[in-house]
Structure 1
């Protein structure tokens, strides 16, 4: 106890606190407010730096994409030049002499390529490399030769440093006919590639041209600002080369978060909090409490420092709000002036002419739109595959760049038929995929078939992607990228399920499309004897167009089937989702008759199952399905529309006259020409009476029919024509179906006219029980069509 008249230490502390309490109540808000204002200002600066960093990173991504495309084009031109020179007679003739002619062939090659600094030939088995002095030959040259031998279809160009300076070395096989007789090594000046790289404009970041596999690369050249952070990424490879381009994002002093919205929000909160604390200090706690507890009109404020401070943040907040908004990234994209043509957004997919309506810039915008749509649907991962077209690698690179910019993780399965991409969506459990393909269209076309969350996008969903691009409704993020090959898994999945009961000899015509890389292996795996025809993948389609719906494209297959005595001939389109069939005698089995065979087989195991067919299919299909105990359903033409209807009705099977077949029984419900071929072989080989395929096909109902007939029109005109035709045409005694164009069914036949959703043409087809009935139906349609437009060039 303290002595009388004295205070205890505890009381002394309490008295001291009581004395300083007013000062603390005054200084506390001032100190807190000052700290928050200073920190808020610092975070506003950090937000500005983050905005600059994001803008610089976006600019670097676009610049890298531009540089890769430019260098890839330069390399491709030189590879094609060397390839053409190797085919010149002055080179070919000496090569026929074997080792004795290689020196003369090299001399001729150097004359054909005056820009080449060196050219020489090595033997086809590379014995002089495998058993020779690698130091004398050159390790880089030896590695390039061995790579060309391992993968002769995709030789890689690389930079090599010689006494004459940097050279572009290209090693590729030299063929006489189809036989590889030697390997050529050509060295060309590297300066044009450096010039193409240097022409790339990049601001706020740095790009480096490197050679290697991403680990310890050789840096060849760099452009851009040197203040960026050190290049740590492995770089993006340049197709067809060992070169890659690394990116250094701008190196700004970012201390806290890398998230622009978080940084802006934190800055705003600190500034508002600081101003509020200083206002409390100025008006006092009691006054502040009274203001906060009453309506503003009850407060009679006087002019104080707090009010002056309260007015300033509005001026200070303007640049902060500008930094926090997502608009700067969009402004950067507008500067790129990427014009997206709405006409490429079609009913079933996106498709355009490469270099015209479809460029790498457009592909990247489409990737951003698809990625943003996927993110809005709660999806995070997308599979990407491509067909064998020459434009595929560049478009895939741009597409993936766009997808990843929205935060989508991408699984790149490389060159693969469209059905394999669909399969990967299920096998890898992503449910989403994009096939970069021009399908059956000419070589200068390419496009995108899109699946999101198991839904194949069509019609409004496709148009919504265009509207998203137009309105710039993009999600920002950074997704990952991995490369996988699912080809073996696809083959194994089919061969584990299907094995034919007897060996059938099959000619397989892939028309140099991407199915050639996998269809023969699938058919061999199920037990067929396969004779490949045009199965080398070549995006120029040098032999015939890969479209089995055009009978002209089946002539080589028919000749081959007859010459070798095959049981059947199979043809695939450019991306492998359609199938064409010819018999041993050369008869073309139209897809609607194939659908009869598939339906009969499936209904044996699934009585009552729904079978969907499109408006172009024969009138014999409906009664056959009913006789077999099935439920027939006619629907609109289009693979996306058919798949959507299958999901809605849980159908076991669907098919189109174009050759798309969709198996819901034992398969995944997507259109797959390769799997359809395997199922066909299974049915033909399992015939209990041992009949030939031709005998089996002969049992199917058959009338007199035409293939698909087409009338070209200008873009959009075919849709307007069908609308007018639907309104004006009169078909007495016929049952009309108008779900897709106009189909008129009589008891002895039918006719159809519709607008194609893939190309600007009218599509017509006629089918009847007899030739006179067919002519009568064609006459009726002819009069109705010419009544609407007398100048129509009718193909019948």
Structure 2
């Protein structure tokens, strides 16, 4: 146990699924070094000997990754520095190098002045109380001391070999690839060329300033360059990756965005052809068409809480071969490791689409509905949870077929659904609506408007 008083970082950087803050303000080199020692101490408590550390392409990455490694080693745990790589390669390194533990220093799809830590110990993604417990260790001085070793490793070649030995395209494909100047650009072009693709590359140079557009393919405005390139070239499909490469965006030849819940239909059909009766997990924001699609193909459809760490934990618990989230995280356990990987998901998508001569037709043929994107009610800290609690306890939804309170309130109707859930990462209530037609969508939104304003008068709604 260390006797000197450790530095205790600001509480607001300890989020539900990761640690995240503004560089040099809440997330400082000193804070990250302290967190490293707390993490190393927790690793030792779990019998872990070494942690692989990777970082995305942000300008603050080298300094923060260095501080993290110093802290981990100060706790007496070895560090394997794998350099500037997508988050999925950091997860891969934990398997490939046998450390079972890893940290990705990444701000994901947040603005350039943010950074953070995604942490795995002994094969378990840290979230919720486990992340808060790192701060407790610092407050109480519950830290180990030692002199861990530092070594470097390059896992890129092993990752490329692992994916290309697993995924086989039935024919060559020409695709648009937009890396948004995120770290996926360091390896995604090489991977897809090795798979047999011809590429139209957009913003594949890693640049932590993100000079072209924000690296978040879940927002349609960030896919406009892909849509334009598909119009101007003979590429048949567009793929886009987020800032740290763990999420995938997909655009058809004619410019339609195939949102992740529809991507998951294709993946589920493919996986279930080899894993009869398999369980497919999806989060509460996904389309209501998904459950029926999975059941029709002999699978078990399981709705679960939103959050990549929560979905990964459920995947591990159930042994399901596949899971996916509306945000774009896809988790393949069949043929892969069960962690979210936008690059691997893109490869698996092309494997499926290459079996057809017309990728556009396959994607356009997936069931669709009239829906809204994710809408947010901005509130003060703590208020979103209170609003949703009141909805659960007080709100009436006439004509509803079912109320699902797994994660927020999802109200199912015969012709659509509405969802209100508190975000675990920012002080907003997340809303999503879907229906068979525009009239039903309006009716469901009206029902939610009435319910929300009745429990929280004066609230400003985004619809």
How much does 1:552 deviate? Answer: 1.0
2:390 is matched with which residue? 724
2:93 is matched with which residue? 424
Q: Which string of whole-angstrom CA distances, capped at 9 and with x for unpartnered residues, describes residues 503-555 of structure 1?
A: 11111111110001111111111111111101111111111111111111111
2:42 is matched with which residue? 373
Q: Secondary structure at the match of 1:362?
A: helix
Q: Secondary structure at the match of 2:217?
A: coil
Assess if the C-alpha contact under 8 Å between 2:168 and 2:195 holds in 1: yes
1:415 equivalent in alignment to 2:84:
yes
How much does 1:725 deviate? Answer: 2.6
Distance 2:215 2:393 in 1: 36
How much does 1:715 deviate? Answer: 3.0
Assess if the C-alpha contact under 8 Å between 2:8 and 2:34 holds in 1: no
Q: Which string of whole-angstrom CA distances, capped at 9 and with x for unpartnered residues, describes residues 76-95 of structure 1?
A: xxxxxxxxxxxxxxxxxxxx
Assess if the C-alpha contact under 8 Å between 2:176 and 2:235 holds in 1: yes
Distance 2:88 2:368 in 1: 30
1:685 equivalent in alignment to 2:348:
no
Assess if the C-alpha contact under 8 Å between 2:247 and 2:328 holds in 1: yes
1:590 is matched with which residue? 259
| Greater alpha carbon shift after TM alignment, 363-372 vs 731-740 | 731-740
Assess if the C-alpha contact under 8 Å between 2:245 and 2:341 holds in 1: yes
What is the correspondence of 1:39-54 to structure 2 with a 5 Å cutoff? none
Q: Secondary structure at the match of 2:54?
A: strand
Q: Secondary structure at the match of 2:388?
A: helix
Distance 1:444 1:717 in 2: 26
1:675 is matched with which residue? 344
- Choose which of 130, 146, 154 in structure 2 pairs with 1:461: 130
How much does 1:495 deviate? Answer: 0.8
1:632 equivalent in alignment to 2:301:
yes
How much does 1:423 deviate? Answer: 0.4
Distance 2:115 2:31 in 1: 12
What is the correspondence of 1:271-670 to structure 2 with a 5 Å cutoff? 329-331=3-5, 333=6, 338-670=7-339
Assess if the C-alpha contact under 8 Å between 1:718 and 1:762 holds in 2: yes
TM (norm. structure 2) is: 0.98
Q: Which string of whole-angstrom CA distances, capped at 9 and with x for unpartnered residues, describes residues 747-787 of structure 1?
A: 11001111122222221111111111111111111111222
Q: Which string of whole-angstrom CA distances, capped at 9 and with x for unpartnered residues, describes residues 306-342 of structure 1?
A: xxxxxxxxxxxxxxxxxxxx56x414x4xxxx34112
Distance 1:569 1:400 in 2: 37
Q: Secondary structure at the match of 1:343?
A: helix
1:791 equivalent in alignment to 2:458:
yes
Q: Greater Rg, structure 1 or structure 2? A: 1
2:444 is matched with which residue? 777
Gaps of 5+ in 1: 1-325
Assess if the C-alpha contact under 8 Å between 1:361 and 1:398 holds in 2: yes
Q: Secondary structure at the match of 1:589?
A: coil
Q: Which string of whole-angstrom CA distances, capped at 9 and with x for unpartnered residues, describes residues 35-85 of structure 1?
A: xxxxxxxxxxxxxxxxxxxxxxxxxxxxxxxxxxxxxxxxxxxxxxxxxxx
2:405 is matched with which residue? 738
Structure 1: 4+ residue segments shifted above 6 A? none
2:380 is matched with which residue? 714
Distance 1:342 1:724 in 2: 27
How much does 1:388 deviate? Answer: 0.7
Distance 1:430 1:648 in 2: 21
Distance 2:382 2:279 in 1: 34
CA RMSD of aligned residues (A): 1.2
Q: Which has the higher contact order (CA 8 A, sep 6+)?
A: 2
How much does 1:718 deviate? Answer: 2.2
How much does 1:470 deviate? Answer: 1.5
Assess if the C-alpha contact under 8 Å between 2:8 and 2:135 holds in 1: no
How much does 1:502 deviate? Answer: 1.0
Q: Secondary structure at the match of 1:605?
A: coil
Distance 1:720 1:520 in 2: 45
Q: Which string of whole-angstrom CA distances, capped at 9 and with x for unpartnered residues, describes residues 536-586 of structure 1?
A: 111111111111111111111111111113211111111000001010100
Q: Secondary structure at the match of 1:758?
A: coil
Distance 2:393 2:134 in 1: 31
Distance 1:397 1:433 in 2: 14
Assess if the C-alpha contact under 8 Å between 2:35 and 2:68 holds in 1: yes
TM (norm. structure 1) is: 0.57
Distance 1:568 1:730 in 2: 44
Assess if the C-alpha contact under 8 Å between 1:549 and 1:708 holds in 2: no
What is the correspondence of 1:223-234 to structure 2 with a 5 Å cutoff? none
Distance 1:537 1:715 in 2: 34
Distance 1:438 1:726 in 2: 33
How much does 1:622 deviate? Answer: 0.3
Q: Secondary structure at the match of 2:4?
A: helix
- Choose which of 415, 418, 422 in structure 2 pairs with 1:748: 415
Assess if the C-alpha contact under 8 Å between 2:8 and 2:138 holds in 1: no
1:704 equivalent in alignment to 2:370:
yes
Distance 1:448 1:477 in 2: 22
Gaps of 5+ in 2: none
Q: Secondary structure at the match of 1:431?
A: coil
How much does 1:600 deviate? Answer: 0.4
Assess if the C-alpha contact under 8 Å between 1:500 and 1:527 holds in 2: yes
How much does 1:613 deviate? Answer: 0.2
How much does 1:791 deviate? Answer: 3.2
How much does 1:433 deviate? Answer: 0.3
